[in-house]
Amino acid sequence: RIIMGIESSCDETGVGLVRLHDDGRVELLADQVASSVEQHARFGGVVPEVASRAHLEAMVPTANRAFATAGLALSDVDAIAVTAGPGLAGALLVGVSAAKAYAAALDVPLYGVNHLAGHIAVDTLEHGPLPTPCLALLVSGGHSQLLRVDDISGAITELGSTVDDAAGEAYDKVARVLGLPYPGGPPIDKAAKQGNPSAIAFPRGMTGPRDAKYDFSFSGLKTAVARWVEGAERRGEEVPVNDVAASFQEAVADVLTAKAVRAATESGIGTLVISGGVAANSRLSELARERCEAAGIELRVPRPRLCTDNGAMIAALGAHVVAAGAKPSSLDISANPALPVEVVSL
Ligand code: ATP
Ligand code: MG
Ligand code: FE
């Protein structure tokens, strides 16, 4: 069966196509993404109205490109999955409306699915079925969560999450302080490679004995970096951008991997999946690999292209939901900007 996935929760218009095999394997056939990130760059963050308009313009051409690259026709589609939330209301609405139109026109079932679960499900396209239970560290522009996944098509439980900023948000804000472009993840990752990660001892949030075990906090770290940079500027010193980037990145990777490995060990879970845009970070996956190996935990990280927003992740999740025999969504579903991660499909 062929599943079409549509993503429009933030600033990427994504359309993916996958094949669900009879044995439950899900194969990637097409993954087309149009991003409006450049239109937001000068604002230092996503502008919702700009994103919605860009989705509207990009949706049909992106879908057409996906079918062309896969060598498939619209009539080959057996089911449609779309991101129903969480995300920006107006942006989500474009994808949901398009998905309804395709589903109605093609007379195929529609599945409104969860964007965050999609970030995890995408790993199955690269590494095969998820062993269950597994632990997922979801780190993206809007979320930082530790999740227990007993079934990707419906049983996800939150073990912890950020109490303030998301990891990606911290990257974007620190990049701004350092005069690096938006989005901040890739340029900080690059600068950090030339810097010394132990040059500055930035704080590791929520790691005290009295802090909740599996929660994160990145707002104090962000402020510490800003203060440090201001201090250097006040003294007329040149800001060692590479060292600040490396030291900041080390603090983020340290906290995320320490808590993820601890959660896996304490829950007796043998597999950790790291996903979401920040999973594209080179130091995070390197440190996770070291620590997982030491703890005897299998680590799975999708390739960077699949970590950031795309339609293939939604198609993949849709395929797992279809395979599980879930009931399709009604054609009157609406987008839910605050859809909780536990709700995998509507
Ligand atoms: P959410 O999934 O929570 O709704 P989102 O979809 O906007 O948020 P993603 O596209 O998954 O988020 O991730 C975008 C974030 O990933 C940005 O904050 C960006 O800076 C960060 N990011 C991308 N590449 C890297 C990298 N190499 N290192 C660190 N962060 C990165
Ligand atoms: Mg994005
Ligand atoms: Fe995302």
Q: Which positions ≥6 away from 263 have C-beta within 8 Å?
A: 135, 146, 159, 160, 213, 214, 269
Query: 122 alpha carbon to ligand 2 midpoint, in Å?
Result: 16
13 contacts 34 by C-beta, under 8 angstroms:
yes
> What is the mean pLDDT of the segment spanning 232-254?
97
User: For 291-302, how does the pLDDT look when each residue is reduced to its tens digit (9 = 90+)?
Assistant: 999 999 999 999
Helices within the chain (DSSP H only):
37-41, 48-70, 89-106, 115-121, 123-127, 167-177, 185-192, 219-234, 241-267, 282-295, 304-307, 312-323
User: For 83-120, how does the pLDDT look when each residue is reduced to its tens digit (9 = 90+)?
Assistant: 999 999 999 999 999 999 999 999 999 999 999 999 99
Query: 37 alpha carbon to ligand 2 midpoint, in Å?
Result: 7
Quote the DSSP letter at residue 303: -
Nearest residue by C-alpha to atom 16 in ligand 1? 277
Among 10, 12, 182, 285, which is best to mutate for testing ligand 1, by the most ligand atoms less than 8 A from CB? Answer: 10
> What is the mean pLDDT of the segment spanning 39-53?
89
Q: What was the ipTM of the complex prediction?
A: 0.97
The answer, yes or no, to whether residue 209 has pLDDT greater than 90, is no
The answer, yes or no, to whether residue 186 has pLDDT greater than 90, is yes
Task: Tell me the pairing of strands 2-7 and 12-20.
Answer: antiparallel
| Token pair belonging to 134 | 């597994």
Output the pTM of the full model: 0.95
Quote the DSSP letter at residue 240: -
Measured N-to-C along each axis, helices 219-234 and 241-267 cross at an angle, to the nearest 10 degrees, of 160
Ligand 1 proximity of 40 Cβ (cutoff 6 Å): no
